[in-house]
A = this chain, B = another copy of it.
Amino acid sequence: MSKTYAGRFFEDYAPGQVIEHAVPRTVTAGERALYHALYPARHALYSSDAFAQSCGLPAAPLDDLAAFHVVFGKTVPDISLNAVANLGYAEGRWRASVWPGDTLRAVSEVIGVKQNSNGKSGVVWVRTRGLNQDGVAVLEYVRWVMVRKRDPEAPAPETVIPDLAPAVAADDLVVPPGLDFTGYDVTLAGEPHRWGDYEIGEQIDHVDGVTVEEAEHMMATRLWQNTAKVHFDATLRPDGQRLIYGGHVISLARALSFNGLANAQLIAGLNAGAHANPCFAGDTVRAWSEVLDKAETAAPGVGALRLRLVATKGAPFELKGDDGKYLPDVLLDLDYWVLMPV
């Protein structure tokens, strides 16, 4: 029998299954430095221990998206190795900060399955939790993927579609213990714009662009121990290109959004997300944001902002065509909550 793992197929999933993902990972200052080398990340809370301490935290935590990528990467061999498409995210919450020295692992529960009408594939919903070495959940989110069937003749399972919230309620966002923005230094943070300065419906062009290289996205994706072949093996496509991990585009866009959202320090919730079109080396990625909602929090000086973050190869503020489909230049449409000084 082959000792090589071929991944799970659609018929291998059933609601209620709990999958403990392999290869726990200790993250350190090394991962933090690499995050800054791979993305133009400048949010001060993650860049500076001293700044984080001035905001009530013991030190600068690992970037929220680095934590997300590590947890996501753990799930790939079990969830998306045979996935045709990464369809969506929902109910994502960052529940505890990740510190250098923490060891992360991931556990997923299957919460929905639905065979496609073509009988060749189906959609699988999982709720994934990232846990640290103490078993504390640092992150949880739902994602759903389209997965091939091993045997097209296998019977369709009973359809179970989970009831997912359209967005995380502001009251459910977790503010890190101790976070206090009452003494927040806008000069050191880089921009004067506070929570009160943003209006629902406001759009921001983040102006800068980054042209992506193969070596960069492969190093990032390897760092997260994401094993999906399409990101690394140039022989899989006739054009010799490697598909860039969608999370790489999320981090690029988030980092670019510093210019206009420098004070959107922490990511607290992930409401929805679509990888609208594939990204390849040579693409120049730009970003724009739209303010979707605002909420207060109980923490001193801390407000929450719900943002749409769009990564694009084209012009800002263009998203979908008359047919309701994403325009070809759009790479990412992300709906998330941030915490910032009021």
Q: Which chain B positions have C-beta within 8 A of A219? A: 37-38, 216
- Binding stretch for chain B, among A112-120, A170-178, A222-230, A296-304: A222-230
Please report whether the interface of chain A is mostly helix, strand, loop or mixed according to DSSP.
mixed
Q: Which chain B positions have C-beta within 8 A of A20? A: 187-188
CA distance A189 to B24 in the complex (A): 8
Per a CB cutoff under 8 Å, which of B2, B23, B232 touches A44?
A: B23
Q: Which chain B positions have C-beta within 8 A of A232? A: 40, 208-211
The interface bits of chain A over 185-218 (1 if a CB of B lies within 8 angstroms of the residue's CB, else 0) are 0011111010001000000111111110111101
Q: Does chain B have a CB within 8 A of A133?
A: yes
**Inter-chain contact B191/A5, CB cutoff 8 Å:** yes
Q: Does chain B have a CB within 8 A of A60?
A: yes
CA distance A259 to B214 in the complex (A): 23
Using C-beta atoms within 8 Å of the partner chain, give the interface range for chain A. Answer: 35 or more
Q: Which chain B positions have C-beta within 8 A of A214? A: 211, 213, 215
Q: Which chain B positions have C-beta within 8 A of A56? A: none
Q: Which chain B positions have C-beta within 8 A of A28? A: 29-30, 32-33
Per a CB cutoff under 8 Å, which of B4, B188, B216 touches A24?
A: B188
The interface bits of chain A over 293-311 (1 if a CB of B lies within 8 angstroms of the residue's CB, else 0) are 0000000000000000000
A240 nearest in chain B by CB position: B211
A207 nearest in chain B by CB position: B4
CA distance A211 to B218 in the complex (A): 9
Shortest Cβ distance from A232 into chain B, in angstroms?
Answer: 5
Q: Which chain B positions have C-beta within 8 A of A47? A: 23-26, 225
CA distance A231 to B333 in the complex (A): 26
The interface bits of chain A over 1-23 (1 if a CB of B lies within 8 angstroms of the residue's CB, else 0) are 01111000000000000001011
What are the 5 tightest A-B residue pairs by CB atom distance, in nearest-first order?
A: A30-B33, A22-B190, A28-B29, A215-B215, A24-B48
